[in-house]
Amino acid sequence: MSNARKIAQINIIINKSLYNELQDFLFSLGIKYFYSTVSRSLMLEENEGLSRVFSGDNTTVDEQSVTISLLVDKKYEEQIIAAIIEKMKFDIAGRGTIFSKEVSLLNSNESIIENQNLSVKAETKKLPVELAGIIAILMRGEGDQVARVSLDTGSSVPNITYGKGAGLRDKIGLWRITIPAEKDVVTALTAAHDVDAVMNLMIDKGQLDQPGKGFIYTYPINKGILNTKIHIGMPKHAASIEQIINVIDEIKNSSSWRKREGYADENKSKRKYLTNLIEMALICVEGFGPDLTKIAMNVGAPGATISKLKLVTNNETLSKQPPARELCSLIIGEALVKPILEALEKNNAFDNEKIGQVLINPVVKAFTYFGKKK
């Protein structure tokens, strides 16, 4: 199969305690399979007493979460999102995050195409906040301080998963020992009008203008709803600030009223960003990711981040496949898409052993260390 087509990728970040309920609901809609991975969401806890004296106003705390990704025919995108928001009460701050993006399915094993023929009936509604996504890939242990930018700016609850870097470390000889392979992958969502400012604050916090510190990029989102409950605990007033903001968003049918003057980073104009890039996601059976990544690198890909996924299904045929999968995420130039895909096809990435799947979507802008100016 090699006929590329536009589909919808719906991503859901939910508290671990609500995962089983969501899984059952997805299967009831006719979803044949989805991918999941263990993650953690970062929130703020107000310090009191001596803790406040020594640690400041707030500290960060973890909440165990699960990140779900499902691929569906585009005609079901809005209804699926509406149905999940209604069922899981995502319109209440603290219940979770859901968002979608348009991706191109370039090739896939025939058994693992997008979910079709769904039995979903839900009244769609306009979501007032236009969103944008940010992903930062950092050395293990560095993710929390970068993720906290999303909390401190009131953007949304950030999420952290784990991965392993491949590529750069293999090209720098003895210097590879100074760049750990293990990575924190921070996912943050924000209102579209704030994405540049939040990205720049994350660059500063993570010192991403220094060698080996990491990579950050932004990408477009079709629609979704954020988890804006950035503080844990009961609110001290009849309504939380998050609830008040959500109501004003609905009244104004937009979040543009929240845009803050002077919020942009002063160094923004001095930074050189990468543009015209593509995010290529290669999903395959666990164990094949490193070799398939090397194939892409031999064609010109600079590297990849490999993360673990689990195939979750109630389909009899798919249940016979290995559930352990790997996601190999590559950020590449547009010109590399075709030769990488051809190299993967030539090396049987989509056969019944590797069960490969390749998706692409645009990257708006990216940033990393470029070296000293001469």
Please enumerate in sequence order all residues whose Cβ is within 8 A of that of 84, keeping only pairs 6 or more positions apart, or say none.
Answer: 10, 12, 22, 25, 26, 90, 98
Using CA atoms, how far apart are residues 153 and 258, in angstroms rounded to an integer? 12
* DSSP class of 49: T
Q: pLDDT value at position 296?
A: 96
With CA atoms as reference, report the closest residue to 147 among 162, 159, 133, 139: 159
Dihedral sign, Cα of residue 268, residue 274, residue 276, residue 277:
negative
Q: What is the pLDDT of residues 102-125, one digit of tens each?
A: 999 999 999 999 999 999 988 887
CA angle (319 as vertex; 288, 119 as ends), nearest 5: 115
Rg of the chain over Cα atoms, rounded to whole angstroms, equals: 21
Q: What is the mean pLDDT of the chain?
A: 86
| Least confident segment among 179-183, 193-197, 220-224, 360-364 | 179-183
Q: What's the token pair of residue 29?
A: 């809609």
Determine how many CB atoms are found less than 10 A away from the CB of residue 245: 17
> How confident is residue 341, by pLDDT bands cut at 50, 70 and 90?
very high
Using CA atoms, how far apart are residues 217 and 364, in angstroms rounded to an integer? 7
Give me the mean pLDDT over the 256-274 stretch. Answer: 63
3-state secondary structure of 217: strand
> How confident is residue 228, by pLDDT bands cut at 50, 70 and 90?
confident
* DSSP class of 349: T
Q: pLDDT value at position 50?
A: 39
Q: pLDDT value at position 241?
A: 54
| DSSP of 102-167 | EEEEEEE-GGG--B-S----------S--EEEEEEEEETT-HHHHHHHHHHTT----EEEEEEEES
Give me the mean pLDDT over the 220-245 stretch. Answer: 71
> How confident is residue 258, by pLDDT bands cut at 50, 70 and 90?
low
Q: pLDDT value at position 54?
A: 43
> How confident is residue 177, by pLDDT bands cut at 50, 70 and 90?
very low
What percent of the chain has a predicted confidence (pLDDT) above 70? Answer: 81
> How confident is residue 233, by pLDDT bands cut at 50, 70 and 90?
low
User: Domain-by-domain residue ranges, the chain?
Assistant: 1-119+132-374
* DSSP class of 334: G
Using CA atoms, how far apart are residues 42 and 311, in angstroms rounded to an integer? 25
- Give me the residue label for tokens 């928001």: 85
Neighbouring-strand partners of residue 13 = 67, 97
Q: What is the pLDDT of residues 22-77, one digit of tens each?
A: 999 999 999 999 999 999 999 988 655 434 444 455 788 889 999 999 999 999 99
Q: What is the pLDDT of residues 204-226, one digit of tens each?
A: 999 999 988 999 999 999 999 98
> How confident is residue 372, by pLDDT bands cut at 50, 70 and 90?
low
Q: pLDDT value at position 248?
A: 59
What percent of the chain has a predicted confidence (pLDDT) above 90? Answer: 68
Q: pLDDT value at position 57?
A: 57
* DSSP class of 261: T
